[in-house]
Amino acid sequence: MKTVYLNGEFIAADQARISVFDRGFLFGDSVYEVIPFYQGQGFRLDEHLQRLEHSLRGIQITAEYDWRNILKRLVELNGGGNLSVYLQISRGSSDRRSHIYDADMVPTVFASCSPINDIYDTGLDSVDGVRAIVTADLRWGRCDIKSTGLLPNILVMQQARLAGVEEALMIREGLLTEGASCNLFVVDKGVVYTPKRGSDILGGTTRELILQLADENGIPAQEVDIDYERLLAADEVWVSSSTRAVVPVLEIDGQPVADGKKGPLWARMFELFTCYQRNLMKG
């Protein structure tokens, strides 16, 4: 049985209980992080914890915990190795449902783990490209906050599934924002482009690392507006997230991206990425 963390305790998942008045449940009044641990070590943990602070501040929850130790212990109790940790903090619960909240509520803190692949040990051939649809971005105006209010994200993923593809890219006022749970990159004539960071997208930790690796390795990269025409005309399209690293998109709305094969710059970035991971593992 999996061990989870709930409000100060490490307990079996089937013993964990939260109130029906928890605001995370009633209102989606909560934020979260998904953090990969490889061989028991958090990957880009500082960046994830900084973003968590940003999200908590963004919705005025005060939650000062020793996240590093909680997550480290949780990973150990679940056997270490390669795990993705889900951490959710809701504003807490009171004895009734009310839109108004008291400033002194005690947050509900929940964390659990699930196995992930060791991306750092896999080769280019093990990564499958994905097919995507482009659909309207119906999310709120603070997508930089990693809120658990994910209804638009799950609906677009379901739309993708019904269309027989694996990914949904979202567009708002004519500009691509990101995927349902990933950031977006396009490559055109050797230059990597990604939508500008702001309140329309989540500041992805993997996105930041890709931009860092591009910069360190002389690959030109720019944050720009990307419209639908630019997306379809791209030489390569990638998506990125903590659990999937960098993945090539091979088809969009039924049309192949360039020749419909994984591109050379993706292969280079994937190698740089996995090499970075392996170096971290060596410590």
In whole angstroms, give the CA distance from residue 194 to residue 178: 9
- Three-state secondary-structure class, residue 125: helix
Among 93, 108, 240, 277, binds ligand PDD (CB under 6 A): 240
In whole angstroms, give the CA distance from residue 172 to residue 218: 31
Output 87 or 257, the one with its CB closest to ligand PDD: 87
- Piece of 10-18, 58-66, 91-99, 175-183 that binds ligand PDD (CB under 6 A): 175-183
In whole angstroms, give the CA distance from residue 118 to residue 277: 10
Window 250 to 279, contacts with ligand PDD (CB under 6 A):
none
Question: Active site residue: 72, 146, 196, 262, which one?
Answer: 146
- Piece of 10-18, 74-82, 116-124, 240-248 that binds ligand PDD (CB under 6 A): 240-248
Among 82, 205, 274, 277, binds ligand PDD (CB under 6 A): 205
Sign of the torsion angle spanned by Cα atoms 111, 115, 248, 215: positive
Is residue 43 within 8 A of residue 37, CB to CB? The reply is yes
134 binds ligand PDD (CB under 6 A): no
Output 241 or 277, the one with its CB closest to ligand PDD: 241
Among 93, 147, 241, 277, binds ligand PDD (CB under 6 A): 241
Is residue 270 within 8 A of residue 127, CB to CB? The reply is yes
204 binds ligand PDD (CB under 6 A): yes
194 binds ligand PDD (CB under 6 A): no
Output 36 or 93, the one with its CB closest to ligand PDD: 36
Q: Known catalytic residue: 189?
A: no
88 binds ligand PDD (CB under 6 A): no
Output 75 or 182, the one with its CB closest to ligand PDD: 182
Question: CB neighbours (10 Å) of residue 228?
Answer: 15
DSSP string, 19-61: -TTBHHHHH--EEEEEEEEETTEETTHHHHHHHHHHHHHHTT-
The closest of 28, 72, 25, 29 to 49, measured between CA atoms, is 72
Q: Which residues bind ligand PDD (CB under 6 A)?
A: 34, 178, 181-183, 202, 204-207, 240-243
Which residues form the catalytic set?
146
